[in-house]
Copies of this chain bind each other. A is one copy, B any other.
Amino acid sequence: MILRIDRLQTELPPPSDPDPVGASAVQELLGGKFGEMSTFMNYTYQSFNFRSRQQARPFYDLVASIAAEEFGHIELVAATINTMLTGAAEGEPGEAGDLTSVKGTRNTQQFIAGGAGALVQDSMGKPWNGDYVFSSGDLLEDLTHNFFLETGARNNKLKVYEMVEHPAARALTGYLLVRGGVHQVAYARAIERLTGAELMKMFPSPRIPTEKIPECQPHIQRGEHLKLYRFSVNDYKEIAAVFNGPHPETGEELRIADEVQPEGAPPFDLPPQEAVFAPGPEPEEIAQIAARLREAAGLPKEPTGVVANNGAGVLGKVKDALG
């Protein structure tokens, strides 16, 4: 089972100019064959289906804990898309013409099915599906798959990085390239441990050094390209048995993070989008009901959740930005 921490694994910029067409491209990193839904679900099901866990514990722990990190990745991609869609559908609910600005956007369902929100689809609007999950039960083969999957994922992140200039997309891909790179190394190393085959010479794949991407630099400087988190307080201790040795690109030593998970950052509380009824055509009414319920339950008057834009000042600035 899992516990949630209501923080993002890395900071994302606040909404700025909306970019719905860019957001439709970013969907590839969420619901595409090589998107984060695929990495999350592949490793999750491989961990569920793992037989003989005790005897193969270091490998089980590796797959299971990386799976946990990937939840944070789908969360980040969704947050990015939502950020990019914010402000794209301004206007009054039920007012003719309010959404004409997105009539020609590439993914209309972000507005018709969703409330200017992320979908579980790829960049062509095709839904992610469960047959993207490879879980053969054969450890070596699953690892081979995972290495390939991370390679494809890295390719797609690089392409989206090149394609979409929105600051949120840049921040996202910068972070994912670094962390996905760690997973790519982890699976290659696991194969090495299991077979002796030297896969490190295949890095970087695609053959573009991660360090050349400016948006990756801050994360590299914090050593995020070298460490694996356990994403568990008590479990998955044996990842250390697999994830070690030199990094294939930099030669630095790989290591297990001291922290259970990255500190991350609180999410941005994205503003309502009334024209698409999110969180409703009249958000104020919901706010009042929520306040009353809070009070009746003896909760503090102010919301207890922590968000990036808690202070009025920040919120105001966003509203200006979206003006």
Contact = CB atoms under 8 A, between A and B. Distances in A.
A140 B202 contact: yes
Contacts of A214: 96
A175 interface: no
A241 B55 CA distance: 42
A152 B212 CA distance: 34
Contacts of A181: none
Contacts of A215: 96
Contact of A159 (B111, B244, B304): B111
A54 B305 contact: yes
Interface string A282-319: 11011101100110111100011111001000000000
A304 B59 contact: no
A202 B195 contact: yes
B59 A115 contact: no
Given A197-B197, A206-B140, A6 B100 contact: no
Given A9-B1, A97-B162, A165-B100, A138 B278 contact: yes
Contacts of A323: none
Given A197-B201, A201-B196, A240-B299, A114 B135 contact: yes
Interface string A230-256: 011111111011101000000000000
A49 B78 contact: yes
B99 A159 contact: yes
B271 A51 contact: yes
Contacts of A233: 3, 5
A55 B137 CA distance: 40
A76 to B, nearest CB: 9
A194 interface: yes
A159 B276 contact: yes
A119 to B, nearest CB: 7
Contacts of A59: 279, 286, 290
Nearest to A213: B94
A3 B231 contact: yes
